[in-house]
Amino acid sequence: MTHAINTEKVNVSDRYMQLIHNLHDDKVKINDEKLKIRGSIDIDDHGFICFPDFHFEPEYAEDGLVHGPKLIGKNFGRFMREMPKYINRNSALATCWVGVIQEFMKIGVAKEDRPSKEWHDTVEKYHILQPGFAGMNHLCPDVNIGLELGWKGLLDKVRKYREINQPENTDFYDGEELLLLGIIDWVEAHAKLAEELAEKETDPFHKQNYLRIAGMNHNLATQPPQDFREACQFIAQFQSVDRTYFAGGATNPLDRMLKPYFEKDIAQGKLTEEEAVWYLASLFFNDTHYSQIGGVSPAGDREMTSRISFVILDAMHLLGIPNNMGIRVHAPLENQGDSPEALLRRAVEYTIEDGFGVCYSLEKGITEGYAKNGYPIELGRMRTKCGCNWVAIPGHEYPLQDVTRVNMAMALHYALEDLKAEKEYSIDRLWELFQHHLSIMVNCIKEGYDKHYEVIGRNVPEIVLNLFMYGPIERGLNCANGGVDVLNLNMDGIALATVADSFAAIQQRIVEEKKMTWERLFELLDTDFKDAENERLMLHNIKRFGSPGSIAEDWALKIRDEYVHQVHDTPTPKHHLMTIPGMFSHGDVYMYGKKTPATPNGRHNGDPISHSSEPDPGFARGIDTFSPALKANAVAKTQAGYGNSAPLHLDIDTGLIENEGGVDALVALIHAHEQMDGTLINMNCVSKEKLLKAHEDPSAYPDLVVRVTGYSAFFASLSKEYRQQIVDRFLSA
C-alpha cells in the first residue's frame, strides 16, 4: 500500500491569488492584441506574444530557402539572440516566444529532395492536404534529459559525441551546437533584462522577484536547474525554443518531471505549495505545451499520481486560460490508494466549474492497442498524452501522429465516379472501387513517408527535439532518420461517419427499399441536390452511424476494418517502415469538407465532413434519443485499435449536470469509455445560452475557453467557422 497522498486543494493566499489573476488578465489582453493584429487563430492557442516591430534577416541557401542542419542552426541561434526578451511583471519566470520561425524565414526541403510529380498529382487529386511528408515535431521529447544536463551540459554532450563519432559530414553537430550557443546567450540576456527591471522596480516584492529571475537565468546559462523554480524556468525556456521551431508542443508527464524537485524543496522548507502554484501558473502562462498527469508505472504495478499532480491541477484551474494538460485514467490498481480517483474527480469538478479543463487520456485502449503492434505492453504504459490526440514514449519514439489525413470521403467520391462510368451498378462493386481508391491514398502517404525518412534529416531536422531524445546526439542522426529506436508512422483516416452513412443510405434507399435509382443518385450528387431537398432528406434521415443496431454502424465497422488493414498490414514500400492507423480529424473537418463534393448521406458539396471516428451530429433517431453514452459507445467501437487516440468530444450542457450526481455520472462515463477501449475524451461544460451569446458576440466573452478538439483555445480567438463547429456539436447533444 502506498502512503496516503494529500489530495486537498492548495490554500493560496491573497498575494499569490492576485498575481495569478493578473497573469490571467494579462493573457486576455495579449490575446486581444493578437486578434487585432493577426485575426482569428484556429490552431492551439499557444502563448506566443506578438511583437509586430520585430524583423529578422535570415541567411539563405542558393535556392532562396533555409535548409540543412547547419544553416538552420546558424539562423535559429541568431534568431534566439535577436528576438525580443520578455518578463511579465506578475510572472515567476522569464521568457516568451514570438511566433514560429517559419514566419521569419523560408524553411523548406531542397527541390531535388522533394517527392515525385506523380506523388504530387495524387496528393492533389485526392485533396490530401496533410500528406505526412515533411511533417515536423509530433513526437514526445524527454525534457528530463535537459533538466539533468542544462543547456551548457547539452552543448557539452553535442561536443563529446562529435568527438566520438567524428562524422565526415559535420552538419548535424554544427547545427545543434550553433542553436545551443544561441539559446545560452538568450538565457543570459534574460538574466540581464531581469537585473535592469529590478533596478527600475520600486515595489519590494517585485524587485526581489526580478532579482531571483536574474539569478535563475544566470545559473541556467551555465548549469542544470537546482530547485523547483529553476526547473520550471528551464521548462519554460524549453517550451519557448520548441514552439519557435514548427510549433513543437509536447512534453513528458509534468508531475513525474517536477516531483523530485517539489518534494525535495518542500522537505527542506525552501518552497511552499502556494509558491509552487504560482510558478506553475507562470509556466502555463508562458505556453500551452501538452503534457499529462497521473498514470501508471511501466510495470503497471504502481500509481504515478502524487501531491504535485494536484498542485498542477490547482494552478491550471486558478489561472483559467487555455491549457493542454491531460489526465491519464485507468482502472484502479490494487493497494495503490484512492488518489487517482480523487485526482480524476477534482479534474471533473474543475471542468464543470470552469467549463473546460484537462482532457482525459485513457489507459486501456492506448496501452493494449499499442501492444498489438508487437511492442511489449510496458512500452504502451510509457506512452504519454503529449499532443492534440497523440501519445508517444517520451525520448524514445518517432510516431509522427496528427500530420496526415486520409479523407475517405474522397475515395468514395472517386468510387462513385467510376461506378457511374461503368454503368453496371451494385453496392458490392462500389465497395471494391472504394477499396481501390482508398489504397491509392494510403499508398501515396506511405511513399511520402519513405521519402521523408530518406531526406528530412538533411533538410529540416528536428534540431530542438533531437537534444531531448535518447539516441540522436549519441548517434549523430536526426530522430526521424534512425536517431531513436522506435519508429512507427501514423496515418489518420477521417470522414468515417460520412462514408458509413453514405453506404448505409445507398443500401437502404436504393438497394433494399428501391426508393431511388442509382442514376438518380448520381444526378443528385452532380447537382448537389439542387431542387431535391426531399430526396436529400431521404438519404440523410436514415438510422445513422451511432444509432444502435443500424446498418450504418455495420458499414462503419467494415470501413474501419478495411482502413486498418490497408494501413497496418503492409509497411512502407521502400524502407519497410511500420505504419499505424489512427482516426483523428483535428478541427479540420471544415477544411476537408470544402474540397469534398456532395456525398450520398445527403451532405452538400463543401459542407464539413464528420469528425474523427464520431457519429455525425443529430445521428440519434427513432426510439433512441441522443445521449453521451450512445456517442461514446460508437466512438469506442470504431477505434482503429493500435494505440493511437481517436477522441470522443463531449459538450455537456451544465444545466444537465449541475444537480447532485453530475460529477459521479461524468466520472463513470470516463471510466466506462476507458474500459470499452476508448482512448481520449475532450470535454466542455457550458450553458447553451452562454455559448450562443458568445458565438454571436465573441468579444463580449474574451476569457471563455473551450476545448476545440485536442486543444483548448479562447472561444473569441476562433474563426466563425470553428466557433460554429463547437455550437453545432453542442446543439446536437
Q: How far is the CB of 507 from another protein (least distance, A)?
A: 16
Residue from 92, 609, 667, 705 touching another protein (CB under 8 A): that is 667
The yes or no reply on residue 534 touching another protein (CB under 8 A) is yes
Q: How far is the CB of 513 from another protein (least distance, A)?
A: 10
Nearest residue to 319 (alpha-carbon basis) of 730, 36, 40, 712: 712
Residue from 196, 422, 533, 696 touching another protein (CB under 8 A): that is 533
- State which residue, 13 or 625, has the beta carbon closest to another protein: 625
The yes or no reply on residue 416 touching another protein (CB under 8 A) is no
The yes or no reply on residue 671 touching another protein (CB under 8 A) is yes
The yes or no reply on residue 64 touching another protein (CB under 8 A) is no
The yes or no reply on residue 517 touching another protein (CB under 8 A) is no
Contact call for residues 705 and 322 (beta carbons, < 8 A): yes
The yes or no reply on residue 37 touching another protein (CB under 8 A) is no
Residue 522, class by beta-carbon neighbours within 10 Å (0-12 exposed, 13-18 middle, 19+ buried)?
A: middle
- State which residue, 511 or 672, has the beta carbon closest to another protein: 672
Backbone phi and psi for residue 717, each to the nearest 5 degrees, phi listed first: -75, -20
Torsion of CA 72, 187, 201, 316, to 10 degrees: 90
Identity (one letter) of the amino acid at 74?
A: K
Backbone phi and psi for residue 455, each to the nearest 5 degrees, phi listed first: -115, -15
Residue from 512, 664, 689, 696 touching another protein (CB under 8 A): that is 664
Residue given cell 469538478 in the structure block? 349
Contact call for residues 440 and 406 (beta carbons, < 8 A): no
CA 271/CA 314 separation, integer angstroms: 16
Query: How many chain residues interact with another protein (CB under 8 A)?
Result: 32
The yes or no reply on residue 633 touching another protein (CB under 8 A) is yes
In the DSSP assignment, the letter for residue 55 is -
Q: How far is the CB of 557 from another protein (least distance, A)?
A: 14
Grid cell listed for 654 = 451544465
Residues 6+ apart with CB under 8 A from 519: none
- State which residue, 154 or 669, has the beta carbon closest to another protein: 669
Residue from 149, 211, 557, 665 touching another protein (CB under 8 A): that is 665
Interface with another protein in residues 316-355 (CB under 8 A)? none
- State which residue, 383 or 671, has the beta carbon closest to another protein: 671
Contact call for residues 559 and 499 (beta carbons, < 8 A): yes
Residues 6+ apart with CB under 8 A from 498: 408, 409, 412, 596, 599, 601, 603, 609, 610, 616
- State which residue, 100 or 665, has the beta carbon closest to another protein: 665
CA 681/CA 645 separation, integer angstroms: 9
User: Segment near another protein (CB under 8 A), from 98-106, 187-195, 662-670, 683-691?
Assistant: 662-670
- State which residue, 52 or 549, has the beta carbon closest to another protein: 549
The yes or no reply on residue 629 touching another protein (CB under 8 A) is yes
Nearest residue to 547 (alpha-carbon basis) of 629, 608, 607: 629
Three-class DSSP category at 514: coil
The yes or no reply on residue 129 touching another protein (CB under 8 A) is no
Q: How far is the CB of 626 from another protein (least distance, A)?
A: 9
Q: How far is the CB of 527 from another protein (least distance, A)?
A: 17
What Cα–Cα distance (Å) separates residue 553 from each residue in 27, 548, 615?
44, 8, 9
Q: How far is the CB of 537 from another protein (least distance, A)?
A: 4
The yes or no reply on residue 627 touching another protein (CB under 8 A) is yes
Residues 6+ apart with CB under 8 A from 584: 388, 389, 390, 401, 402, 492, 494, 612, 644, 645, 646, 647, 710
Q: How far is the CB of 652 from another protein (least distance, A)?
A: 10
Grid cell listed for 291 = 503534457
CA 267/CA 272 separation, integer angstroms: 10
CA 298/CA 290 separation, integer angstroms: 20
Q: How far is the CB of 631 from another protein (least distance, A)?
A: 9
- State which residue, 202 or 625, has the beta carbon closest to another protein: 625
The yes or no reply on residue 661 touching another protein (CB under 8 A) is yes
The yes or no reply on residue 689 touching another protein (CB under 8 A) is no
First to last CA, the chain: 42
- Give the H or E element holding residue 206: helix 204-222
Residue from 108, 115, 326, 628 touching another protein (CB under 8 A): that is 628
The yes or no reply on residue 374 touching another protein (CB under 8 A) is no
Q: How far is the CB of 685 from another protein (least distance, A)?
A: 14
β-pairing, 359-362 vs 680-686, is antiparallel
- State which residue, 388 or 542, has the beta carbon closest to another protein: 542
The yes or no reply on residue 662 touching another protein (CB under 8 A) is yes
Interface with another protein in residues 549-578 (CB under 8 A)? 549
Q: How far is the CB of 21 from another protein (least distance, A)?
A: 30
Backbone phi and psi for residue 638, each to the nearest 5 degrees, phi listed first: -105, 20
Backbone phi and psi for residue 491, each to the nearest 5 degrees, phi listed first: -140, 120
β-pairing, 486-494 vs 406-407, is parallel
Q: How far is the CB of 297 from another protein (least distance, A)?
A: 23
User: Segment near another protein (CB under 8 A), from 12-20, 384-392, 485-493, 534-542?
Assistant: 534-542
Residue from 37, 61, 668, 692 touching another protein (CB under 8 A): that is 668
99: left (phi over 0), alpha (psi -120 to 50) or beta: left
- State which residue, 351 or 572, has the beta carbon closest to another protein: 351
- State which residue, 409 or 636, has the beta carbon closest to another protein: 636
The residues that touch another protein, with contacts defined as CB under 8 A, are 533-535, 537-538, 540-541, 548-549, 621-625, 627-630, 633, 657, 659, 661-662, 664-665, 667-669, 671-672, 675-676
